[in-house]
Amino acid sequence: MSQTLKAIYRDGVIIPQAPCDLADEEEIEITISKPLSKEPIKNVRTVPMIDLTFETKWLEEHGKEYIGQWVALSQNKLISHGTNAVEVYNEAIALGFDSPFLHKIESEEDLPFGGW
Amino acid sequence: MQHTLTFSSLFEYDTNKTGITIPLKLTHGNRQTTLLAKLDTGSSFCIFRRERGEALGLEIEHGYLQRIALADGFSFAVYRHDVTISALGFELDVMVYFAADYAFSREVLGQQGWLRQMRIAIVDYEGKLYISKYSD
């Protein structure tokens, strides 16, 4: 049976922070994991909302023609496409689009999403 | 006991699509791309496809390696990198993760790096996501 308890490490010794149900001299195995530290509050800046309405509509209308490929779009215009994301992105940049919408079109794109 | 929260913005998403799809922009240095990601309150981290990181000029394996557990008991490897996320009217510099495996096909906004910096309320029936930054 396993137990989980908090401990601190000091001068080479692991010190439990709560009583543990062990006999003296009993041998145990220890797995060490660090608790997730609280993320500091970031500097969050206010910016305009990103609108991808045109890109979303293009995917609905034309996506099936490019299954398995990466596409770079700007609004409802296809800039570049292919199987290599970096090449597709670089082509869009070279054509003067500094923030292209980059998307891989999957055959099972509409499957329900399980999350984690 | 009732609780009242106020928010600075409202984002309306399409309930006909799977999940809650968020338009966002990732920036690294002078390279940036817009994309659609899923809001995933069950994901510990923000995770993106490997190729997206490569397009942004990142050397994926140069980041800190982390393994992520899946519901089926398996896990997969990701690498941590610093980027800027702009989503739903807010921009912040954060650590996100890029999948090691090219086959990984999901892109999600999760807790560390994004959700934890925001306050959100979701009325899924109406497709409404109310949002403010945490510090508001």
DSSP classification of residue B118: E
**Rounded distance between C-alpha atoms, residue A95 and residue A79, angstroms:** 8
Q: Supply the pLDDT for residue A1.
A: 65
pLDDT higher at A98 or A108: A98
Q: With an 8 Å Cβ cutoff, are A39 and B117 in contact?
A: yes
Which pLDDT band holds residue A4 (cuts at 50, 70, 90)? confident
pLDDT higher at A77 or B73: A77
Q: Supply the pLDDT for residue A109.
A: 64
Q: Which token pair is B119?
A: 């306050």
**B95 in contact with chain A, both atoms CB, cutoff 8 A:** no
**Window 22-41 of B, Cβ < 8 Å to A:** 23-25, 31-36, 38, 40-41
Judge whether residue B4 has pLDDT over 70: yes
Give pLDDT tens digits for B24-55.
999 999 999 999 999 999 999 999 999 999 99
Q: With an 8 Å Cβ cutoff, are B88 and A86 in contact?
A: no
**B96 in contact with chain A, both atoms CB, cutoff 8 A:** no
pTM: 0.82
**Rounded distance between C-alpha atoms, residue B102 and residue B111, angstroms:** 23
Q: Supply the pLDDT for residue A36.
A: 60
**How close A54 gets to chain B, by Cα (Å)?**
12
Q: With an 8 Å Cβ cutoff, are A116 and B108 in contact?
A: yes
**What is the arithmetic mean of pLDDT over B105-129?**
95
**Rounded distance between C-alpha atoms, residue B96 and residue B109, angstroms:** 9
Q: Which token pair is B60?
A: 């994926």
**How close A27 gets to chain B, by Cα (Å)?**
28
Give pLDDT tens digits for B69-82.
887 778 899 999 99
Q: With an 8 Å Cβ cutoff, are A111 and B113 in contact?
A: no
Q: Compute the count of residue pairs across chains A and B with CB atoms less than 8 Å apart.
A: 115
Q: What is the third-level CATH fold of B9-133?
A: Cathepsin D, subunit A; domain 1 (2.40.70)
Each domain of chain B, given as residue ranges in start order, spans 9-133
**Rounded distance between C-alpha atoms, residue A53 and residue B69, angstroms:** 33
Q: With an 8 Å Cβ cutoff, are B71 and A114 in contact?
A: yes
Judge whether residue A37 has pLDDT over 90: no
Each domain of chain A, given as residue ranges in start order, spans 53-104
Q: Are A51 and A57 in contact (CB under 8 A)?
A: no
**Rounded distance between C-alpha atoms, residue A57 and residue A76, angstroms:** 8
Q: Which token pair is A46?
A: 């206010």
Nearest to A115 among B14, B43, B133 (CB): B43
